[in-house]
Amino acid sequence: MLAIKDLSLAAKTTLDHFMSGLNQSRVKGEGTEFSQYRQYLPGDDLRNLDWKVLARTGRYYIKQSEPEQTIAVHLMLDASASMKHDCGDYSKIAYGRYLAACLALLAYRQGDQIGLSFFNEKETKRIVPQQHAQQLQIIYQALANVQANGRLENVEGFKWLLSATNKELLVFITDFYEHDGEIIRLIKLFAALGHEVIVLHLMAENELEARYKGYDALEDAETGEVVVLDTISKERHKQLVENYLDQCRKVLLENNVYHCLVNANDLPEKTLREFLIYRNSVIHR
């Protein structure tokens, strides 16, 4: 089991490094963006006074800002058995925990409400999105304890996870391993309820590149089915992966869901950057 302090420290270190590399020009203070000027009124915060305009014109003007729209970010982690897949030094579920912790911290620092759900065959858990000092620790603790088990089957039974009246940004972290379209049905349900959905599709490098050195066969973690590797060439495997990813993107696009392929052997910074770029494009449409 992962120590909560290790997950917290890893997320903070990663996000601090990531944010230091961004060239941002956000107005300091209240999470606002500059909108317009207005004349100074008694009681206005002098920190918002434009001293350059005062020096140039002799008039007192306040830089008036518009509050940035905050949202409820609900992280959803696939905790089915396929997330036990070995990425090298760690499993997909371990990487999923790490990525979710980074996204939770990012959302918290942006002033958004954050929540978490994870589910598998044996367990479902929901932490309602909130914005307070203890919320991060609650999410870190849940992530540290989650284990990958079983299959995602009766996904219709998870309708209670999210209310149709509370629209949220759902960030679904999954390896998209399904047997009968159960993940697609779940995502379609969320989209139909009016939620904005982003799918972070985890795949290990050995899956993407068909590198299974030392293995003659692979066993399905959820069904026990065995696939003999000698029956398929590396080139054919890579082509099948590309076809599979194209189909995932197509189905999600048809349902207005954003698909982001995540190499679980890369640092999360690339995914964090793509997440912010996408969200910025949505906000400024």
197 and 257 share a domain?
yes
Is residue 247 in a domain?
yes
Count of domains for the chain = 2
Same domain membership, residue 246 and residue 128: yes
pLDDT score for 99: 96
Instruction: Give residue 230's pLDDT.
Output: 55
CB atoms within 10 A of CB 206: 17
**Cβ proximity of 189 and 160 under 8 Å:** no
pLDDT at 30 exceeding the cut of 50: no
Residue predicted with more confidence, 64 or 269: 269
**Residue 128 sits in the same domain as residue 144:** yes
Residue 154 has pLDDT above 60, yes or no: no
Cβ contact 111:126 at 8 Å: no
Of 56-60, 62-66, 110-114, which gets the smallest average pLDDT? 62-66
% residues pLDDT > 70 (the chain)? 71
Task: Let me know whether 124 and 93 are in one domain.
Answer: yes
Quick one: 61 and 160 in the same domain?
A: no
pLDDT tens track for 202-236? 999 988 887 655 444 444 444 545 444 555 667 77
**pLDDT above 90: percentage of residues in the chain:** 33
Q: Kindly state whether residue 136 falls inside one of the protein's structural domains.
A: yes
Whether 33 has a pLDDT exceeding 50, the answer reads: no
Tell me the two tokens of residue 51: 């001293």
Q: Are residues 37 and 90 in the same domain?
A: no
Please give the average per-residue pLDDT across 54-61, as a whole number: 73
**In the predicted model, is pLDDT for residue 32 greater than 60?**
no
Per-residue tokens: 45: 């915060």
Q: Answer yes or no: do 78 and 59 share one domain.
A: no
> Does residue 174 sit in helix, strand or coil?
strand
133-142, Cβ contacts within 8 angstroms, sequence gap of 24 or more:
135/108, 136/8, 136/104, 136/105, 136/108, 137/4, 137/8, 139/75, 139/100, 139/101, 139/104, 139/114, 139/115, 140/4, 140/7, 140/8, 140/11, 140/101, 140/104, 141/4, 142/116, 142/118
Name which residue leads in pLDDT, 72 or 218. Answer: 72
In whole numbers, what is the pLDDT of the chain averaged over residues?
78
Q: Tell whether 46 is covered by a domain.
A: yes
Q: Are residues 137 and 45 in the same domain?
A: no
Structure tokens at 100: 């979710």
Residue 162 — pLDDT band, cuts 50, 70, 90? low
In a domain? residue 112: yes
Q: What is the mean pLDDT of residues 59-75?
A: 71
Strands 169-174 and 72-78: parallel
Determine contact, residues 121/94, Cβ cutoff 8 Å. no
Statement to judge: residues 63 and 136 lie in one domain: no
Q: Within this chain, do residues 247 and 222 fall inside the same structural domain, yes or no?
A: yes
20 part of a folded domain: no
pLDDT for the residue numbered 102: 95
What is the predicted pLDDT for the residue at 129?
Answer: 92
In this structure, are 156 and 210 located in the same domain? yes
Query: Quick one: pLDDT at residue 103?
Result: 95
**For 245-277, what is each residue's pLDDT tens digit?**
999 999 999 999 999 999 999 989 999 988 888
Q: What are phi and psi of 187, to 5 degrees?
A: -65, -40
Over residues 188-195, the mean pLDDT reads 86
State pLDDT tens for residues 164-188. 567 889 999 999 988 788 888 888 8
What range defines the domain where residue 152 resides? 4-14+69-283
Nearest 5°: the CA angle 8, 150, 79 is 25
Render pLDDT for 129-144 as a digit per residue (tens, 0 to 9): 999 879 999 999 999 9
Q: 16: how many CB neighbours lie within 10 A of its CB?
A: 11
Q: How many CA atoms lie within 13 A of 61 on its CB side?
A: 17
Within a domain: 22:
no
- Report how far residue 279's alpha carbon sits from residue 273's, in angstroms, rounded to the nearest whole number: 10
Same domain? 46 vs 92: no
Q: How confident is the model at residue 153 (pLDDT cuts 50, 70, 90)?
A: low
Tell me the C-alpha distance between 46 and 110, whole Å. Answer: 24
Its pTM stands at: 0.77
